[in-house]
Amino acid sequence: MSEVNIEIPSQVNELLNRLGAYSYRAYIVGKCVRELIGGTGTVDYDIITDAEIGRIRAIFDIYSVNIDNLTKGEVVVTVQGMPVLIAPYRKGFTENGSPIYTESITEDLQRRDFSFNAIAYNPREGFVDPFGGVRCLMGEQAVVDVIKVQDDENEEPSTFERNPVSILQALGYYSSGDYTISPAASELIFLYKDYLNDAAPADLRTELSWVLHGRNTSVVLEEYAEVFTALVPEFAMLSGFDLKRPEYSTDALTHTFRSVGYASPVLTLRYAMLFHSLGKPDCFSEDENGKGYFHGHAERSFLYAQKIMRRMGFSEDETREVGFLIKNQSIDITGDRRSLKLRLREMPPERLKMLLQFKHADLKARSPDFEGAAMACKKQVDAVNEIIAMKECYTLHQLAVNRYDLIQSGIVRNDEHANAVLERLLDIVVEAPAFNTRSRLLGAAEKVMRDIIIK
């Protein structure tokens, strides 16, 4: 491993050296080592040592020591402004969360999830890497591999069996595009996929969000469709479901997963894509030519999404925003600027842009014939951005005149007439943004008022 060179901050070296001065062995470990080898940099450092927790506190009593997590067998020592977590070797925790200490660094490392997170390092000794983690990081792409431990009698439980959430963590690494998954780990992921049902909803939600945020997300969703169906059983309805329309070149589940990948990496949007077709099987019908229809599927998909998100513990705000996109996915938004401004009267700009991005992802995931329609949605997003940037008027409060101006000028005499005139003026300005000046609008208001009186 001499070809691997990493540098650690002076503050961390200071802590390692201080433990060494008291004849204790100490190493940085876990994520920080992985990131240093990968050259991505790190801000969080963990140290493990063969010193007992009481000795750690005594050795670092000249520093600022945070003992909030002392019951877990760890303290945070701050040196020159850098906080560093320090803990004795631990091989696990009891059911009530108390640490189980060990004298073996290997036992500490083997309790970790993946090989590349089970690497320890200090500048004097180099790497302690009993599970081949450095090798997993040294190829063109890092490899997610599980730790395999076998004693003389029994094989230890798999990472995924012991901690099912690590299945989604592995897929999250894969989804990032910087990692691949070893065949052995992949086999175990499929073997233990049903264990996801035993994991805490909050943990599943966090890791699923990481998977969905990755640039490789659609590949992961398709390749591990069985795993995500174990997590969200409602996906089983979409698997193999023929939509029976020429614009869909795949089954409903594949279309769904591909649409997620085409969406911008905004979690609200990607969750909306993930759940947007769930209602189609329930609403499916065929005409005499065998063409499929899904009348009312948006509302039905919305109900499924609500149920799933509440089951997984999403907040009401998150559920509402995702639900808005799903429920309104069938709204027709024509491409002209005037129509966009009319939509902006109904919903905030960010919601409209998100809905257009939703439509873009859905169209991109269909057949290549819909590439033009998908690009049109992107142009509409650009148009909305331009409307906002240029401060073009689309609501009454953006008009250069108001009710008071009309009454003060003697053009109208009551609120009813003022409201009617302002609505007509707004229609004019939506068509011709340059018309939105006080003088022009007051001049137009007189003619509008005459037309109202005549009618």
| Per-position pLDDT tens, the chain of length 455 | 446 778 999 999 999 999 999 999 999 999 999 999 988 776 799 999 999 999 999 999 999 999 999 999 999 999 999 999 999 999 999 989 899 999 999 999 999 989 999 999 999 999 999 999 999 998 878 999 988 765 545 566 678 998 999 999 999 999 999 999 999 999 999 999 999 999 999 999 999 999 999 999 999 999 999 999 999 999 999 999 999 999 998 999 999 999 999 999 999 999 999 999 999 999 999 999 999 999 999 999 999 999 999 999 999 999 999 999 999 999 999 878 999 999 999 999 999 999 999 999 999 999 889 999 999 999 999 999 999 999 999 999 999 999 999 999 999 889 899 999 999 999 999 999 999 999 999 999 999 988 877 65
Residue 4 in tokens = 């691997």
- Domains of the chain, by residue range, sit at 10-133, 139-231, 258-392, 396-454
Residues 6/122, Cβ–Cβ less than 8 Å? no
> Beta 45-49 vs 126-128: how paired, if at all?
unpaired
Question: Element (H or E) spanning 180, and its range?
Answer: strand 179-181
Task: Return the CATH class of domain 10-133.
Answer: alpha beta
Tell me the CA end-to-end span of the chain in Å, nearest whole number: 89
Residues 86/75, Cβ–Cβ less than 8 Å? yes
Indicate the SS3 state at residue 27: strand
The CATH number of the domain covering residues in 139-231 = 1.10.110.30
C-alpha dihedral sign at 407, 412, 413, 418: negative
- φ/ψ (deg, to 5) at 235: -65, -20
Residues 121/28, Cβ–Cβ less than 8 Å? yes
- The domains spanning 10-133 and 139-231 adopt the same CATH topology: no
Residues 244/267, Cβ–Cβ less than 8 Å? no
Residues 230/272, Cβ–Cβ less than 8 Å? no
Put simply, whether the predicted model's pTM sits higher than 0.85 gets the answer: yes
